[in-house]
Structure 1
């Protein structure tokens, strides 16, 4: 009996310790009441102006990511100067004074691109946005040592039919890289589009399985301009072609029902991963 009690206590302490070390978090709320929610839906598919930080968000100690709740369905980046959780405290937008005191900021500029690892579709000739929809749903989940956000876009017109597309972004404690997965919830395969955007004057780096950029984004909400690194890592065999439209490097998948890639980011305010050279060195490890 004593051994059983000891085992139960050990397991309980292990769970408590693991949860205490979970340096990930989620955030999803409407601006009208700021109450955190697990799931939010809209038949319009567009809550960009009324949902907190324009869509669901997740973070670990190194960075935060959000999925725009609109026709963009792009992934945006929140960069940090030091390793800590910030979403609940600052909801993506610290003041200029707080940024100068060491809090992170929104230096990344998505524009009309996929951003960093955002997902769209390919019809054989062009990009197909995940829009219009009959309904769009955002969901966030915090687990023992990771957190994820999902966005389900329902009845997206695609090559003469309608498809449901689920995008999931997962962050992990102690792991800078985040996983992006996309699933086609339909009978027939689709071709996915993902990638990373870039801006004039940025450094770029491409090898099989890795695309990376480094430099300034034309940001207009941060207190200062800071160089940002962004990268997408992927299995080359999962993709059949790449495209460069002058604003983003795009990966076009083989026909299928799911695809996966990893994304990462760093910024010039960090102590170690603060240059393109250091960023690439980190990624290639």
Structure 2
């Protein structure tokens, strides 16, 4: 049953536009041989050092997202691009300084210990519950039709005296900058999810009922240069019962449910269309109306 649920959305979405050109990509590989695979799993739940870009990744023409394959699951990190195009399998998330100067993007974003941009964890009524420890963690990627998807299944996560299986799915669509994040509780009882967006000292943060934007520099040290990054999470406020700010991230706590979804997007100051906070916010406002 889990495997059916795991890729039901992929099959459905993929058949909608099989003839369209797919302007997305998915990437998952072990660092030992760099051979691309569709699935990895591990009972420890931590293959951070063994897997390329530390977990599964997907991209559209404007950005890439990755899920960490460790006890930070399911935090979402961002790779931003200087120019429109697909480059994940060329750069493998960490392009050289020379490649960046020639126009490839970089990991300007820092998720740290937070959920990053739209990541998923649980809420027990008092605090955030990480998706760890687990009995098995499985990552999958898929490219089909006009989309790419990555998924992370965390099995037997301790939650309120019981154990639950949590599936997180992220979808990149051809032709649009936004990506969709979904979370499923594969259990008989409802749970409370928590998601959000992180920020750093010195950044501007814009908060509305249905979206939050962060804008500014991230304290990252793997990029060749420091560039201002814009990031946004767009939610349906009706799905959430509370919101909190812990000083590092704005969090949204869901009502008891077995499913939530939201959208995330990002840009950098070098972007010709969305290279300022004003332009990015205008775009996010329009997205929040369309979604």
| Secondary structure of residue in 1 paired with 2:177 | strand
Q: 2:231 & 2:18 partners in 1: Cα distance?
A: 34
Match of 2:168 in 1: 167
4+ runs deviating over 2 angstroms: none
- Write the deviation string for residues 98-145 of structure 1: whole angstroms up to 9, x where unpaired: 111110000000110000000000000000000000000000010111
- Write the deviation string for residues 234-273 of structure 1: whole angstroms up to 9, x where unpaired: 1000000001000000000000101110001001121111
Match of 1:45 in 2: 45
- 5 Å-filtered alignment, 1:210-221, equals 210-221=211-222
> Contact 2:18–2:146 at 8 Å: present in 1 too?
no
- 5 Å-filtered alignment, 1:80-91, equals 80-91=81-92
Q: 2:244 & 2:120 partners in 1: Cα distance?
A: 14
Q: Are residue 154 (structure 1) and residue 164 (structure 2) matched?
A: no
| Secondary structure of residue in 2 paired with 1:125 | coil
Q: 2:260 & 2:211 partners in 1: Cα distance?
A: 15
Q: 1:275 & 1:41 partners in 2: Cα distance?
A: 40
Considering only aligned residues, what root-mean-square deviation do their CA atoms show, in Å?
Answer: 0.9
Q: 2:83 & 2:90 partners in 1: Cα distance?
A: 15
Could you list the runs of 5+ residues in structure 2 that have no partner in the other structure? 1-16, 287-291
Q: 1:15 & 1:172 partners in 2: Cα distance?
A: 13
Q: 1:270 & 1:95 partners in 2: Cα distance?
A: 20
- 5 Å-filtered alignment, 1:235-250, equals 235-250=236-251
Q: 2:151 & 2:173 partners in 1: Cα distance?
A: 15
Match of 2:195 in 1: 194
Q: 2:32 & 2:280 partners in 1: Cα distance?
A: 39
Match of 1:59 in 2: 59
Match of 2:7 in 1: none
In the alignment of these two chains, the number of paired residues is 269
Match of 1:114 in 2: 115
Match of 1:32 in 2: 32
TM-superposed CA distance for 1:15, in Å, is 5.2
> Contact 2:234–2:263 at 8 Å: present in 1 too?
yes
| Secondary structure of residue in 1 paired with 2:116 | coil
Q: 1:15 & 1:191 partners in 2: Cα distance?
A: 35
- Write the deviation string for residues 192-211 of structure 1: whole angstroms up to 9, x where unpaired: 00000000000111111101
C-alpha change, 1:15 and 1:112, in structure 2 (3 Å) is closer
Q: 2:271 & 2:251 partners in 1: Cα distance?
A: 28
Match of 1:128 in 2: 129
Match of 1:72 in 2: 72
Q: 1:126 & 1:15 partners in 2: Cα distance?
A: 43
Match of 1:180 in 2: 181
C-alpha change, 1:15 and 1:118, in structure 2 (3 Å) is closer
- 5 Å-filtered alignment, 1:196-235, equals 196-235=197-236
TM-superposed CA distance for 1:41, in Å, is 0.2
> Contact 2:18–2:144 at 8 Å: present in 1 too?
no
TM-superposed CA distance for 1:91, in Å, is 0.5
Q: 2:159 & 2:198 partners in 1: Cα distance?
A: 24
| Secondary structure of residue in 2 paired with 1:230 | strand
Could you list the runs of 5+ residues in structure 1 that have no partner in the other structure? 1-13
